[in-house]
Amino acid sequence: MKISLPFHSHSVVKVITNACLLILIISAVHIISVFTTFDSHIDNIKIINKLNNLKTSTSGLLYAAHYHPQDMSYIVKQANVQLPERAFFESSWFNTHQINNANQDLAKQWQEIQSTIDQRRFTQTEQLLPAFNDALDDIIGQYQILATKKMHIIYLAEVFSFLLIMLVGITLFLYSKKQIVEPIKQLVKNVNAIKSHRFNLAFPHSNNEIGVLSQGIKDTANELNHLIGTMKTQVSEQTIALEKAHQTIEFLYSISQQLSTVKLTSPILYHALNALAKHANLNKLCLELNNGTFITSEKGCAVVDEAMQRIPIIINGKPYGHLNYVLISPSQEQHALIESFTGLVARALYQEEHSLQEQKILLMEERSIIARELHDSIAQSLSFLKIQCTLLHRQVNASEQQQAQQTISHIEEAVSDAYIQLRSLLSTFRLNVTESNFKEAMTVMIKTLQKQTSAVISIKKFETHFYTDASQHIHLLQIVREAIINAIKHAECAHIDISCIITDQHKVWISIIDDGLGIIDNSDKDNHYGLSIMKQRADELGATLSFTSLTKGTEVKLIFPYKNAILNQGAENA
pLDDT in tens, 395-407: 665 555 666 666 6
Indicate yes or no: pTM above 0.85.
no
Give the span between the Cα atoms of 550 and 513, in whole angstroms. Answer: 9
Average pLDDT of the residues in 170-199: 84
Residue 22 pLDDT > 80: yes
Distance (Å, whole) CA 359 – CA 470: 6
Q: What is the mean pLDDT of the chain?
A: 76
Q: What confidence tens digit (pLDDT) does each residue in 333-380 have?
A: 888 888 888 888 888 888 877 777 777 677 667 666 666 655 555 666
CA distance 141 to 283: 123
SS3 content of the chain, % helix, strand, coil (to 5): 70, 10, 20
CA angle in degrees (0–180, nearest 5) for 401-403-406: 110
Helix (H) or strand (E) holding 292, with range, is: none
Backbone φ and ψ for 196, nearest 5 degrees, come out as -90, 10
* pLDDT band, residue 512 (cuts 50/70/90): very high
Beta pairing partners, 311: 323
pLDDT (0 to 100) of residue 567: 35
* Residue 316 main-chain phi, psi, to 5 deg: 55, 35
pLDDT at 435: 47
Strand 318-327 versus strand 456-462 pairing type:
unpaired
Strands 282-289 and 294-296: antiparallel
**Which amino acid is located at 449 in the chain?**
L
Residue 510 host element (H or E): strand 507-514
Q: Which stretch of 11-15, 83-87, 167-171, 173-177 has the lowest confidence by average pLDDT? A: 83-87
Predicted confidence (pLDDT) per residue in 517-549, tens digit: 876 655 444 335 577 888 888 888 888 999 998
Beta strands in 22-132 (DSSP E): none
Of 514, 499, 512, 503, the closest CA to residue 459 belongs to 499
Q: Which pLDDT band holds residue 457 (cuts at 50, 70, 90)?
A: very high
Cβ burial of 393 (10 Å; 0-12, 13-18, 19+) is middle
Strands 318-327 and 309-315: antiparallel
Q: Which long-range contacts link 187-190 to residues 24+ away (Cβ below 8 Å)?
A: 187/213, 187/214, 187/217, 190/217, 190/221
Distance CA 52, CA 46 (A): 10
Evaluate if residue 430 carries a pLDDT over 80. Answer: no
CB 573 within 8 A of CB 255: yes
What integer pLDDT is reported at residue 449 of this predicted model? 85
Is 500 a residue whose pLDDT tops 80?
yes
pLDDT of the residue at 527? 39
Non-local CB neighbours of 459 within 8 Å, separated by 6+ positions: 439, 442, 443, 446, 497, 498, 499
What's the pLDDT score for residue 569? 36
Has residue 432 got a pLDDT over 60?
no
pLDDT of 1? 36
Radius of gyration, alpha carbons of the chain:
70
Is it the case that residue 175 has pLDDT exceeding 60? Answer: yes
- Range of lowest pLDDT (123-127, 264-268, 420-424, 549-553): 420-424
Range in 97-101, 242-246, 338-342, 549-553 with the lowest mean pLDDT: 97-101
Pair 493, 553: CB distance under 8 Å: yes
- pLDDT at res. 434: 47
pLDDT at residue 564 in the model: 42
pLDDT of res. 87: 40
The more confident residue out of 515 and 88 is: 515
251's enclosing H/E stretch is helix 209-260
* Average pLDDT estimate for 8-16: 72
- Select the more confidently predicted residue: 62 or 231: 231
Is 557 a residue whose pLDDT tops 50?
yes
Could you give the domains of the chain?
12-191 (1.20.120), 244-353 (3.30.450.40), 434-574 (3.30.565.10)
Q: Which pLDDT band, with edges at 50, 70 and 90, does 216 fall under? A: confident
Q: Nearest 10 degrees: CA dihedral of 199, 200, 202, 206? A: 60
φ/ψ (deg, to 5) at 294: -130, 115
Going from the C-alpha of 484 to that of each of 255, 310, 453, 549, the distances in angstroms are 41, 44, 10, 15
- CA 311 → CA 287, 288, 293, 324, distances in Å? 10, 10, 16, 7
Q: Average pLDDT of 272-295?
A: 82
pLDDT at residue 367 in the model = 66
Phi-psi region of 469 (alpha: psi -120 to 50; beta: other; left: phi over 0): beta
Range from 11-15, 36-40, 325-329 carrying the lowest mean pLDDT: 36-40
Cα gap 472→485, rounded to integer Å: 20
Mean pLDDT of the 237-243 span: 87
> Which residue blocks in 261-331 are alpha helix, DSSP H?
266-279
Which residues neighbour 2 within 8 Å (Cβ) at sequence distance 6 or greater?
none
Residue 327 is inside which H or E element, if any? strand 318-327
**What's residue 427's pLDDT?**
57
pLDDT at 479 over 80: yes
